[in-house]
Chains A and B, each alone.
Chain A
Amino acid sequence: MFRRASEAGARVSLSVDGTPIAASAGDSVAAALLAAGITVCRTTPVSGAPRAPYCMMGICFECLVTIDGVGSRQACLTRVRDGMRVETQQGKREAGR
């Protein structure tokens, strides 16, 4: 539930759980998710509760997503890249992926 208050930079295309979204060069993955209206980025390994970015500065570890096959990455510390594959994390991270 975020909108751009200024002109976006160069367009970057990435996918989230298989669905393509548009982002702006310079966005963090977390910002791109929020701009695309994706409100939940993971469910917790303890109770399966929905979570989303909270601090945007690498402190809270709520924005954990799988990026290009590597799990539990902090989306707020990772810049978007064309062709990036993002997957939201459901519950426990599966061993071996």
Chain B
Amino acid sequence: MSAIRDRYDLAVIGAGPAGLAAATTAAGLGLDTALFDEQPAPGGQIYRAITETPLGERSVLGEDYWHGTTLVEPFRQSGAQYVPGATVWSVTREGEIGVSVAGAARLLRARHVILATGALERPFPIPGWTLPGVMTCGAAQILLKSSGLVAKGKVVLAGSGPLLWLIAAQYLRAGAEIAALLDTTPAANWTAALPHLPCFLASSYLAKGLTLIREVRRRIPVIGRVMSLAAIGRERVEGVAYRAFGDSERRIPADTLLLHQGVVPNINLSSAIGCAHRWDAAQLCFRPEVDDWGMSSLDGIAIAGDGAGISGALAAEQRGHLAGLDAARRLDKLDEEARDRAAAPHAAALARAERGRRFLDLLYRPAEGFRLPAPETLACRCEEVTARQVLDAIALGVQGPNQLKSFLRCGMGPCQGRLCGLTITELIAKARGLSPDVVGYYRLRPPVKPITLAELAALPHGEAAEKAVVRG
């Protein structure tokens, strides 16, 4: 692997479908490009371990996953520099990037930056959600893809959304014992989603979705309209308590509980840079403001893929190509006309990939009861702050997420609000009768991931530091 240099035309952050596509396209057009990614191998999360999964039997993970292989070879041929195991902890609006590789931090510059850091699972704050043995469905998928590992013993899946059905099917094909799938999709969502059904029927998601659901329903108990959930256990999860609509509370033993209620954009980096974000009331999350090419509110910073708004892997790939084309135009490798011509097939593919998503968004919109924790449930896992503490502080006059952060330490742990930010904003919004857009979100600053004092101390001296000192 060649050494990391001080300057690049383009830095792409994240090696999922958007990042791979963006880097491939841009490098192919002559931009000196580097792709940084935290994982040791390309694919991001959706195509995790695509080049090295031990699960050779294609039918376990399914063909949608294997599509990821079509992204890797073109990237390797593109001439872009691939930097795996790289944690980007800072990006400035001037394109200065702070990155750590193998325990060493450095600063470098890029003329243009494309963030492709993707999505993360929406928090699912139920009682007991911090118990060992409670994980996200995404975590189970990663263990399966990367290491061929399947949960032993009784597995319970709970939540809402296509990924829940996908992991259920993958687990069954891999021989796991699933005790139940507890579906928390509210019945009312069907009514809201119905007007968008025609588009969904015309999309590719329908056939795949129905096949998956049928496969799963045939083989395991599926309980719908679940309205409350709790993980029970002392040192680890031992059972799951739930109540479905019209039924009394039930309890089932479980060794592993897998939770999922959708994914949301990972905004920590885009936020720390200072890009404008807004609340998306349909997807119930904050997302950066971007134009059709992924350009953010800041010149020189673009965002592609699920990190700009949840549209799925195929859409992310196309948005990556579009961002790569735009980067090439901005750095004078293409004129506008050539860019637009090259973009046309990608825009068409994007439209096809996005068809039917609105139906899915509305159908799988998570219930408020699962977005807002009960009083004694932890809202912030890192600092162990309960919903009750948050509400009490709001009543004392601590009115916004940043004030709460200073007052209660919620959001001050190492995850930097990734698992509590949305919960806190929605708790405040509900308590104060305001829209989440008005309430806002944590103010995020670099480093967006912790760096060691040793790494920081070893950063090169700069003249800026000398000028900035005030002896006191």
Contacts and interface: CB of A to CB of B under 8 A. Distances in A.
A binds B: yes
Interface of A: 1-9, 24, 26-28, 31, 34-35, 39-40, 44, 46-47, 49-62, 64, 70, 72, 76-77, 79
B266 A59 contact: yes
B136 A54 contact: yes
Interface of B: 38-40, 45, 49, 52, 54-57, 60, 87, 103, 120-121, 130-136, 138-139, 142-144, 146-153, 174-175, 235-236, 255-256, 266, 381-384, 413-415, 418-419, 449-450, 452
Given A44-B384, A57-B138, A62-B381, A5 B38 contact: no
Given A3-B150, A31-B143, A61-B413, A53 B383 contact: no
A55 B138 contact: yes
26 contacts: A1-B133, A1-B153, A2-B149, A4-B147, A5-B60, A6-B148, A8-B54, A26-B147, A27-B147, A35-B149, A52-B133, A52-B135, A54-B134, A55-B120, A55-B136, A55-B138, A56-B135, A56-B138, A56-B143, A57-B142, A60-B381, A60-B418, A70-B103, A70-B452, A72-B450, A77-B39
A75 B142 CA distance: 13
A24 B147 CA distance: 8
Contact of A8 (B131, B143, B148): B148
A51 B150 contact: no
B132 A50 contact: yes
B55 A5 contact: yes
Contacts of A2: 143, 149-152
A64 B136 CA distance: 17
Contacts of A7: 54, 148
B147 A31 contact: yes
Nearest to A41: B132
Contacts of B152: 1-3
A60 B415 contact: yes
B419 A27 contact: no
B152 to A, nearest CB: 5
Which label, helix, strand, loop or mixed, suits the secondary structure of the A interface? loop
Contacts of A24: 54, 147
A5 B415 contact: no
Given A47-B384, A55-B120, A72-B450, 7 more contacts: A5-B149, A7-B148, A28-B146, A39-B133, A56-B138, A58-B449, A60-B419
Which label, helix, strand, loop or mixed, suits the secondary structure of the B interface? loop
Contacts of A62: 130, 381
Nearest to B40: A79
Contacts, number: 131
Contact of A4 (B38, B142, B149): B149
Contacts of B45: 57
B163 to A, nearest CB: 13
Contacts of A70: 103, 452
A7 B415 CA distance: 34
Contacts of A57: 45, 120, 138-139, 142
A53 to B, nearest CB: 7
A59 B138 CA distance: 12
Contacts of B38: 58, 77
Which 5 interchain pairs have the tightest Cβ spacing? A52-B132, A6-B148, A56-B139, A61-B414, A5-B174
A5 B150 contact: yes
A13 to B, nearest CB: 16
Given A56-B139, A61-B414, A50 B236 contact: yes
Contacts of A26: 49, 52, 54, 146-147
A73 B135 CA distance: 19
B136 to A, nearest CB: 5
A63 B175 CA distance: 26
Contacts of A52: 132-133, 135, 236
Of A3, A76, A77, most B-chain CB atoms within 10 Å? A3
Nearest to B123: A60
Contacts of B150: 2-5
A54 B258 CA distance: 9
Contacts of B138: 55-57
A46 B131 CA distance: 15
A44 B415 CA distance: 14
Contacts of A53: 135, 139
A44 B60 CA distance: 36
Contacts of B147: 4, 24, 26-28, 31, 35
A22 to B, nearest CB: 13
A54 B384 CA distance: 15
A34 B60 CA distance: 21
Contacts of B414: 61, 64, 72
A58 B117 CA distance: 12
